[in-house]
Structure 1
């Protein structure tokens, strides 16, 4: 079962809004990919929520793009910000990044985002496998919301 951002939003609209808001607080976030030897690589990235999709745009032949071409699995964490507040909680997304090569889709993205070099970048569309939000609830509980495709939202709390 393939879930894009629109499908996730339809399944869990409140969590989707929270996640988008959390990512919207900062421009740069942290992407984890897998190197050739299987070791993790973390890099900064800007993300876009457009037209029902979560998009990852990257410079030509960047190591993260080459990693995703080889192995599409990734994890993405919203920038935790400054201090310890993390308004909206800690938000993470995992999934597969599918490179888009369709000129019409790329043109729509370029029109919206206006990348530095519209003729030279990699564009990936996200297929979700997991969305997680960790936050403080009622000033005394650590709450975790976990969503996976085809499953109901699971929430756990610890005192």
Structure 2
């Protein structure tokens, strides 16, 4: 696994490395995101306040990508401060299979024409677009085992095994 250590101490890795390290967990996460087209992205405004926005995600070419229309506030936020949190669309009601899935990390703005062309060939996004490649810091899945009366939290961070915690609900 290729781990990147940032100057602020955060450890990040690519989606591909997460898939390699935790294939079953990664499959659960991609399936959960594939269930709906739109998800919720949290970014940081210039004044440090949180901003939530709708977003579409793409798991292609071994990466997790976030795309945006140029000039969108979320894109401006990410270009200024790449920290983000991403929640899969919860769907109708609370019975969505797969549980609640969240990803956190850093969104790296892509300005390389060759990378943007490969992405456009794979996804056919509306153009023009801003593109961000995700560096993961955390993946979390929360489910409920109603029969056992437990909440189950599975958390993964780069360089560590997945941790599963069960709590009485």
Which category of TM-score, normalised to the shorter sequence, fits these structures? over 0.9
State yes or no: 1:110 paired with 2:116. no
Aligned residue in 2 for 1:150: 159
Partners of 2:39 and 2:61 in 1: how far apart? 20
Correspondence for 1:63 among 47, 68, 73 = 73
Give the CA deviation at 1:139: 2.8
Number of residue pairs aligned between Structure 1 and Structure 2: 157
Partners of 1:44 and 1:138 in 2: how far apart? 30
Aligned residue in 2 for 1:100: 110
State yes or no: 1:127 paired with 2:135. yes
Instruction: Kindly report structure 1 stretches of 4+ aligned residues shifted beyond 6 Å.
Output: none
Correspondence for 1:74 among 84, 89, 93 = 84
Q: TM-score, normalised by structure 1?
A: 0.96
CA RMSD of aligned residues (A): 0.9
Give the CA deviation at 1:86: 2.1
Give the CA deviation at 1:138: 6.4
Unaligned 5+ runs, structure 1: none
SS in 2 for 1:134: strand
State yes or no: 1:8 paired with 2:22. no
